[in-house]
Amino acid sequence: MTEQEETTKKLDFGKLHDKYYKHLLVLPAILILVSLIFLVNFYYENGDIIKKDVSLTGGTTITVSNEVNIPELNEFLSSRLEDFSVRGVSDLRTGEQIAFVVQTTADVNTTRTLLEEYLGYELTEENSSTEFTGSSLSSAFYLQLRFAIILSFILMAVVVFIIFRTFVPSLAVVLSAFADITMTLALVDFLGWKISSAGIVAFLMLIGYSVDTDIMLTSRLLKRREESINSRLYSAFKTGITMTLTSIAAVVVALIITSGFSDILQQIFSILTIGLAFDIFNTWITNAGILKWYVEKR
pLDDT tens sequence across 105-163: 888 888 888 888 888 888 888 888 888 876 666 677 778 888 888 888 888 888 888 88
Residue 65 CA to residue 239 CA, distance in Å, equals 47
pLDDT over 60 at 228, yes or no: yes
Q: What pLDDT shows up at residue 182?
A: 93
Segment 89-106 shows an average pLDDT of 76
Q: What is the pTM of this model?
A: 0.82
Residue 90 CA to residue 87 CA, distance in Å, equals 10
Segment 216-225 shows an average pLDDT of 81
User: Binning pLDDT at 50, 70 and 90, where does residue 1 land?
Assistant: low
Across all residues in the chain, what is the average pLDDT? 83
Share of the chain above pLDDT 90, in %: 19
Number of H helices, E strands in the chain: 11, 6
Does residue 279 contact residue 248 with C-beta atoms inside 8 Å? Answer: no
Q: What are phi and psi of 73, to 5 degrees?
A: -65, -40
What domains sit in the chain, N to C, each tagged with a CATH number?
A: 3-52+136-297 (1.20.1640.10), 59-133 (3.30.70.330)
Picking from 60-74, 130-144, 215-229, which range would have the lowest pLDDT averaged per residue? 130-144
Q: What pLDDT shows up at residue 43?
A: 92
Q: What pLDDT shows up at residue 251?
A: 92
